Amino acid sequence: MAEPLVIVAAQGAVRTITLNRPQSLNSFTAAMHAQLLPALDDAAADAEVRAIVVTGAGRGFCAGQDLNDAGMAAGEGGAPDVGAVIERLYRPLATRVRTMPVPVIAAVNGVAAGAGANFALCCDFVLAARGASFIQAFSRIGLVPDCGGTWLLPRLVGRARALGLAMTGDKLSAAEAERIGLIWKCVDDGALMDEALALAHRMAAMPLRALAATRRALDASMALDFADAITLEADAQRELGRAGDFAEGVAAFLAKRPPVFKDR
């Protein structure tokens, strides 16, 4: 039987999704997309799942689009239609990650290039092994950053660094990525999965509906003025204030006991 292109494993409330084409640095094929999106959908639909870790098998995290995946971009009359690939595969993937009801942690074990880098940056946390690197490889082959890269990069590191990374396509080390705020944390190579799983289990015990609302509010705030941001905060608090997790959080605080959050 053929090896799965995406390996899914459960550890309590944490689901780990591993990209599994190590011979091509886990670059994305249409077949891999066809397993990855359902794996994410399935985790989103499963009430037992409260945090997700995505990582790569072998020495790479993901080298972006597999440039050998024949016919993938073929449009009408045989001319390439890369835009159609974005609409068909990368928009659903990036949107799925950024709307998950639970925190998503990228454990970047090796090189993350092109859409592979931006798939990681779509996640709520990016932990990277010291030996890992990030490459906005698009300019090297005559494309723009995709999988959300044009939106994510300037927000994460500012216009100057975003343009520099995207125009040069230079390799950025994990340590430098942490230093400039592109990722959450760079950790020792051997500690990556332990740290990622520890963070995932910690997130799994948090009030998830509030975490998802926090992500939505922070992202929306970039396009709002101050007054509208406060309106959005009020709307979110109105909804969260009626939820079980808020009652539990306050009750646990007053009773001096650890909270048990259940909303999702």
Q: Work out which of 138, 157, 172, 174 binds ligand T3D, going by CB under 6 A.
A: 138
CB atoms within 10 A of CB 95: 11
List the Cα angle 129/51/24 in 5-degree steps. Answer: 45
Which one of 7, 30, 143, 217 is in contact with ligand T3D (CB under 6 A)? 143
Using rule CB under 6 A, residue 62 touches ligand T3D: no
* Stretch near ligand T3D under the rule CB under 6 A, chosen from 46-54, 66-74, 224-232, 244-252: 66-74
List the one residue out of 118, 182, 170 whose CA is nearest residue 139.
170
Residue closer to ligand T3D by CB (options 134, 246) is: 134
Return the residues of window 70-89 that contact ligand T3D according to CB under 6 A: 72-73, 82, 85
**Beta carbons within 8 Å of 89's beta carbon, 6+ residues apart:** 28, 30, 33
Q: Of 115, 119, 158, give the one whose Cα is nearest residue 136.
A: 115
Which residues lie below 8 Å from residue 151, measured CB to CB, with a gap of 6+? none
Q: Which of 129, 137, 153, 165 binds ligand T3D (CB under 6 A)?
A: 137
Report the length, in residues, of the chain: 264
Radius of gyration of the chain (CA): 19
Contact between 66 and ligand T3D per CB under 6 A: yes
Exposed/middle/buried for residue 232 (C-beta within 10 Å: 0-12, 13-18, 19+):
middle
| Token pair recorded at residue 90 | 């990368």
Q: Among 56, 64, 148, 207, which residue sits at the site for ligand T3D (rule: CB under 6 A)? A: 64
Query: How many residues bind to ligand T3D according to rule CB under 6 A?
Result: 23
Q: Quote the least distance from Cβ 66 to ligand T3D, whole Å.
A: 4
- For position 44 contacting ligand T3D by CB under 6 A, the verdict is no
Site for ligand T3D contains 24 (CB under 6 A): yes
Q: How far is the CB of 80 from ligand T3D (least distance, A)?
A: 7
- Least Cα distance to 139 among 161, 113, 160, 175 occurs for 113
- Decide whether 115 or 200 has the Cβ nearer to ligand T3D: 115
Closer CB to ligand T3D, 66 or 178, in the complex: 66
- For 30, the 3-state DSSP assignment is helix
> Where on the chain is the footprint of ligand T3D (CB under 6 A)?
24-25, 27, 63-68, 72-73, 82, 85, 111, 113-115, 135, 137-138, 141, 143, 146
